[in-house]
């Protein structure tokens, strides 16, 4: 049974809200027709990652209306699954609050929390989003009231984060905070490059020339740790220790070549809705001959506390430890072995 279809507006449904996350990797789409409303969490190509029923606008059926579902219309919640079995008026003014990571979203109706689609929503596994008007758990929605103990802090943190992030001086103050830490552990800064262009997250690259016995240059991102990476909690029991990172690379060659690796990966978690951690690998996206550290390599291995590298610990943001991951070039054989 097809529980939800893609958010396309087909079959007479009307799109009443479409709003993207700050990183351009997810869009919240709310559709309705005369009978019901539903929200979808979509990627730019239209793939639906999460979906949640929001409200019936007419009396609820006793059981699932399969003909309606298979027609791709917003589903009607059966009578046993809704707080308003007789239906409720059309939705009021809608607005979205994105999680800091960008992979989940809270939907508000007239400033009241209406629904949440978290990053771990997955219709294929029977995990839709959470809705205020839902009762219990169904393929269409889970009761929001039963999940607020866990979701409440996430929503509160998101509101505080975006209020701070959009405030005047937030980025310069964070940038200065990171640069000061790197001054202490690596010595004075050299050049600085912007790695983000006009897209969030804002990330720069700082160059730290050889200093006090260190005979190689270290390049580090500045800004990845300003926002948590998506999906970490789906893989790690204590995501707070792994959700914030910066990347570093050491070189004795032209630092500008090594900097290309950081440009390549610095925004990747948020644009691809994933995370980077110790032991992860990334395959170079272009021809091997263009790999910045030499054509014999095909990608990088990421290592925390890499041997013979400076100790970068001691920096935290948002009450969470920031981990530096060192990029080490690897061959195609090493990449293949890592994924076997």
User: What pLDDT is stored for residue 307 in this prediction?
Assistant: 86
> How would DSSP label each residue in 173-188?
HHHHHHHHHHHHHH-S
Nearest to 201 by CA among 174, 177, 181: 174
What residue segments make up the domains of the chain, in order of their start? Answer: 14-165, 168-338
259 torsion bin: left (phi>0), alpha (psi -120 to 50), beta (else): alpha
Cis status of the peptide bond prior to 201, with omega within 30 of 0 = yes
Nearest to 65 by CA among 76, 73, 55: 76
178 torsion bin: left (phi>0), alpha (psi -120 to 50), beta (else): alpha
- The pTM assigned to this predicted structure is 0.91
Q: What is the CA radius of gyration of the chain?
A: 23
User: What pLDDT is stored for residue 3 in this prediction?
Assistant: 53
User: What pLDDT is stored for residue 238 in this prediction?
Assistant: 85
Successive 10-residue mean pLDDT values, the chain, 340 residues: 50 87 96 94 91 96 89 89 95 97 97 96 86 95 95 96 96 97 97 93 97 94 98 87 96 94 96 96 85 86 92 95 95 65
> How would DSSP label each residue in 35-96?
SEEEEEEE-TT--EEEEEEEEESSPPPSS--HHHHHTTPPPPPPGGGBS-TT--PPP--EEE
Nearest to 95 by CA among 112, 82, 107, 85: 107
User: What pLDDT is stored for residue 331 in this prediction?
Assistant: 84
Name the residue with tokens 């310069």.
172
Yes or no: say if 247 and 262 are a contact pair by the CB < 8 Å rule: yes
User: What pLDDT is stored for residue 46 in this prediction?
Assistant: 87
Cα separation, 238 vs 225, whole angstroms: 17
User: What pLDDT is stored for residue 24 in this prediction?
Assistant: 96
User: What pLDDT is stored for residue 335 in this prediction?
Assistant: 63
């Amino acid at each position: 049974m097809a529980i939800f279809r893609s958010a396309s507006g087909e079959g007479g449904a009307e799109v009443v809200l479409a709003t993207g996350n700050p990183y351009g990797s997810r869009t919240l789409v709310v559709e309705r027709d005369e009978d019901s409303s539903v929200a979808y969490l979509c990627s730019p190509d239209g793939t639906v990652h999460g979906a949640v029923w929001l409200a019936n606008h007419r009396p609820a059926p006793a059981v699932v209306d399969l003909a309606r579902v298979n027609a791709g219309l917003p589903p009607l919640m059966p009578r046993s699954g809704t707080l308003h079995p007789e239906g409720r008026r059309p939705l009021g003014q809608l607005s979205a609050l994105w999680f800091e990571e960008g992979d989940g979203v809270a939907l508000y109706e007239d400033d009241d929390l209406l629904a949440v689609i978290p990053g771990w929503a997955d219709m294929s596994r029977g995990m839709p989003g959470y809705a205020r008007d839902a009762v219990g758990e169904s393929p269409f929605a889970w009761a929001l009231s039963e999940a607020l103990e866990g979701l409440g802090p996430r929503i509160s943190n998101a509101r505080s984060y975006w209020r701070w992030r959009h405030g005047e001086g937030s980025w310069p103050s964070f940038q200065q905070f990171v640069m000061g830490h790197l001054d202490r552990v690596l010595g004075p800064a050299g050049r600085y490059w912007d790695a983000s262009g006009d897209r969030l997250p804002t990330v720069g690259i700082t160059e730290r020339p050889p200093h006090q016995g260190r005979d190689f240059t270290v390049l580090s991102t500045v800004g990845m740790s300003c926002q948590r990476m998506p999906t970490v909690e789906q893989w790690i029991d204590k995501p707070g220790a792994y959700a914030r990172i910066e990347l570093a690379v050491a070189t004795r060659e032209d630092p500008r070549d090594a900097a290309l690796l950081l440009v390549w990966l610095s925004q990747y978690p948020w644009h691809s809705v994933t995370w980077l951690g110790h032991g992860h690998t990334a395959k170079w996206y272009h021809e091997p001959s263009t790999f910045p550290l030499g054509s014999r390599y095909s990608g990088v291995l990421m290592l925390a506390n890499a041997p013979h590298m400076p100790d970068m610990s001691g920096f935290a943001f948002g009450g969470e430890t920031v981990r530096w991951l060192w990029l080490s070039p690897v061959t195609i054989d090493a990449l293949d072995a890592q994924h076997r």
